[in-house]
Amino acid sequence: MSKTILVTGSTDGIGKGTALKFAQEGHTVYVHGRNQEKVNHVIAEIKKATNNENIKGFVADFSDLNAVKKLSEQIKNEILSLDILINNAGVFKTAVDKTKDNLDIRIAVNYLAAYILTETILPVLEKGKATRVINLSSAAQSTVKKGILTGDFSVNASESYAQSKLALTMWSFHFAKQHPNIITIAVNPGSLLNTKMAKEAYGEHWSSADKGIDILCDLAISKEHLNKSGLYFDNDKGDPKGRFANAHPDAYNSLLIEELLANTQEVINSELIRS
Ligand SMILES: NC(=O)c1ccc[n+]([C@@H]2O[C@H](COP(=O)([O-])OP(=O)(O)OC[C@H]3O[C@@H](n4cnc5c(N)ncnc54)[C@H](OP(=O)(O)O)[C@@H]3O)[C@@H](O)[C@H]2O)c1
């Protein structure tokens, strides 16, 4: 049955490949990116490749939390129901380490944006059929420090990336518990997949982008995962396809999750009030 799907960060990499694959299967796909021209180009490209006219797009720079909030309100106004949300947009190596609001750029794009988007469009997700939310984690996960979350301290790109991915995973587990009617899965799509991110960070890759694309589509659609909400899928643990496995121990610590969520809400409130 045809589904309505939003893939964030689908102007490049595995997000773009995933959007294309969903379009080939005949679903209604919403592409998202930070650049209007690139979004328009990807929509045209996918339509041409698939003959699927139900491809639309949204633009929002996820390093700007107010832009994320505006996008979320736009989605609530324009989309009646969403069956699948893939929180894929992400950054690792960047030209600058801070956002214009002085937040850590990886924390903002990889974690806070996904948090705001998902929590705000909850009514749209709740109207979906057997809704699934897939959150892009990573093998890199490191204990989240409050000063990094608030932007008061700085660490190197690898460390802030790992903290952003553990934060996303911890919230993913919490969100799954809070919303048992939505299947929520955190996933490491595979390390060093052949995308812009891996090229910029390491100049090499270990696996094709298809490895990540295939697992995102599988987790989002396959009946096999209907009872896997609140879990973490590690695509490094097997070839061609990994398995459900343990995330970082902090993701199973309810006190740390509570603390993370309180700090997250504090940061978001102050950011959204400030501008
Ligand atoms: N590649 C890997 O080996 C690997 C491993 C583990 C996890 N992951 C995760 O998988 C996800 C996709 O990664 P990828 O390798 O496909 O990366 P990618 O090729 O660099 O694509 C990232 C996507 O996110 C978008 N994006 C970046 N910054 C943004 C911003 N400020 N606002 C809105 N959109 C933004 C990009 O837009 P532009 O087209 O404008 O750049 C692009 O569409 C990420 O969350 C990443 O952390 C990747």
Q: How far is the CA of 6 from the centre of ligand 1 (A)?
A: 15
What's the whole-number average pLDDT of the chain?
97
Query: What is the signed CA dihedral for 197, 198, 200, 205, rounded to 10 degrees?
Result: -150
Cross-strand bridge partners of residue 86: 7, 134
How does pLDDT run across 23-78, given as a tens digit for each residue?
A: 999 999 999 999 999 999 999 999 999 999 999 999 999 999 999 999 999 999 99
Whole-number CA gyration radius for the chain: 17
Distance CA 25, CA 19 (A): 10
For residue 158, give the amino acid letter. Answer: S
Q: What confidence category does residue 1 fall into, taking pLDDT thresholds of 50, 70 and 90?
A: confident
Judged by DSSP in three states, 131 sits in coil
96 C-beta neighbours (distance < 10 Å), count: 8
Residue 271: the pLDDT is: 79
Residue 194: the pLDDT is: 96
**What is the 8-class DSSP label of residue 51?**
-
82 C-beta neighbours (distance < 10 Å), count: 24
Judged by DSSP in three states, 198 sits in helix
Residue 272: the pLDDT is: 73
41 C-beta neighbours (distance < 10 Å), count: 15
Closest CA to 111 of 261, 221, 234: 261
* Ligand 1 closest atom vs CA 209: 1
| Spatial contact of 10 and 31, defined as CB atoms under 8 Å apart | yes
Does ligand 1 have an atom closer than 6 angstroms to the CB of 160? no
Query: What is the signed CA dihedral for 206, 210, 214, 216, rounded to 10 degrees?
Result: 70
Name the residue at shortest CA distance from atom 1 of ligand 1: 193
For the chain, what percent of residues have pLDDT higher than 90? 96
Evaluate if residue 275 carries a pLDDT over 60.
no
Residues 6+ apart with CB under 8 A from 138: 161, 162, 165, 188, 191
Does ligand 1 have an atom closer than 6 angstroms to the CB of 13? yes
How does pLDDT run across 199-242, given as a tens digit for each residue?
A: 999 999 999 999 999 999 999 999 999 999 999 999 999 888 99
pTM of the model: 0.98
Residue 274: the pLDDT is: 61
Residue 258: the pLDDT is: 98
Distance CA 226, CA 130 (A): 9
Chain-centroid distance, C-alpha 73:
18
* Ligand 1 closest atom vs CA 14: 16
**What is the 8-class DSSP label of residue 1?**
-
* Ligand 1 closest atom vs CA 87: 45
Q: Tell me which of 6, 7, 8, 12 to substitute to probe ligand 1's pocket, judged by most ligand atoms within 8 Å of the beta carbon.
A: 12
Cross-strand bridge partners of residue 30: 6, 56
Distance CA 111, CA 260 (A): 11
Residue 267: the pLDDT is: 96
